[in-house]
Amino acid sequence: MTLAAPALRASTEIAILSPFDGSTVGTLPESSAAEVHARILRARKAAAAFRMSTPYERRRMLDDLAALIARDAETLAQTICAEMGKTITEARGEVRRAQNTLRLSGDAATFLDGEVMHCAIVSGGADRQAVVSYVPTGVVAAITPFNYPINLLCHKLGPAIAAGNAVLVKPSPKAPLAADHLVRLCAEVGFPQDLVQIVHGGAETALALARGPIDLLSFTGGPQAGLALKRASGLVRCLMELGGNDPLIVLPDADLEAAAQTAIGHRYEIAGQSCAAVKKLYVHQAVSADFTDLLRSKVAAHRFGDPADPDTLMGPVIDAAAAADVIARISEARTAGATLLEGGTRNGNLVAPTLLADVPADTRLFATETFGPVLAMTRFDDLATVIGALNASDYGLQAGIFTNDHAAIRLLSRSLQVGGIMVNEGPDFRAEHVPFGGIKSSGLGREGVRIALREMSETRVVID
């Protein structure tokens, strides 16, 4: 059965507003469902030709793209700072990481290895050999969030190109300008026509993409949106990173200075809007008083304000709705018995770095993912209680622990139902080539360029 293409409609403009001062940063045309469908069909033709490319060619393309990002690094950083409120220092760091992601993707293209298996391993088995290899999937739909508009796109685009696929990008309408710039760079590099394309819009555009004749859907966002896209895409393979409610566990022998600095750095980076950021702190009763005093002083000293100022350590959250939600969660937690130690105020989209102690486990602030600069702290005596509470969560992205107690590390690494455990580090730590992702409501599949290359390939067996 052939599905009819969606009807054309007049294009509308998406206005991108600065989270800091509300000014218009730029505009882009919204893509209709018909435009999305047409671009997918063009991508299918490009993918059919590109699947015959060599690993060398793909690696060279990605290296050349990384070089152009380096050339335009300051422009891209300023764009990210303006459109999503990331500090200019954070934005420059993201652009550097994006270059690394693409180069590592190119490197990984040269090691997409298969294997040879003999079929005659049982009595009467055929004297034949099976050659197992990895071939391109086809068209990869890459739907990206606002919080890392360049590097998370490169985590999809890099492995997809390295594996021999075409890519159709849909960035968040809240911060699409840097992604749009990156796709234009693909054309400047000399990528084959229609191999990397971009569409713009919100939920309806994403659903149109998921319902189209794509071969793989790679999505980073929230669980509800992920489930809607999974249902819309049917039997299409999906890779999804859906966020987390990630803990940092501080044990009695921890380096408290390092743990406090990590909690601050990981939670207040991009105003707490990171999927694996420290969302909640479990602090052992034996060190809770000392750790709280240390952490409180650091929170109070954390500078926030204009993200374009190089001295600013933290900028605004993405919009007014996000700011209101964070303040509401703080208020609910205080009503339920939590103690506000620092912050808790809002000025426009600037939410002050906030620290609360003794946060009840059933509050939204503690039980669900909060996308904002709030550290929710609770005390514990028994590690088994922490393990039980974390495993009861719907989320399972990453966890961080501060201790040198090998028995505790071993227990937590075996017991916690999460995708990654960071020792003497925060849960937001990742390296571009290492597998990253979660279980339960935190997602399907893994990112990290080496494993993503296989996730974006099909396994083929030839028996001769």
SS3 sequence, the chain? CCCCCCCCCCCCEEEEECCCCCCEEEEEECCCHHHHHHHHHHHHHHHHHHCCCCHHHHHHHHHHHHHHHHHCHHHHHHHHHHHHCCCHHHHHHHHHHHHHHHHHHHHHHCCCCCEEEECCCCCCCCCCEEEEEEEECCEEEEECCCCCCCHHHHHHHHHHHHCCCEEEEECCCCCCHHHHHHHHHHHHHCCCCCCEEECCCCHHHHHHHHHCCCCEEEEECCHHHHHHHHHHHCCCEEEEECCCCCEEEECCCCCHHHHHHHHHHHHHHHHHCCCCCCCEEEEEHHHHHHHHHHHHHHHHCCCECCCCCCCCCECCCCCHHHHHHHHHHHHHHHHCCCEEEECCCEECCEECCEEEECCCCCCHHHHCCCCCCEEEEEEECCHHHHHHHHHCCCCCCEEEEECCCHHHHHHHHHHCCCCEEEECCCCCCCCCCCCECCCHHHEECCECHHHHHHHCEEEEEEEC
By annotation, the residues acting in catalysis are 241, 275
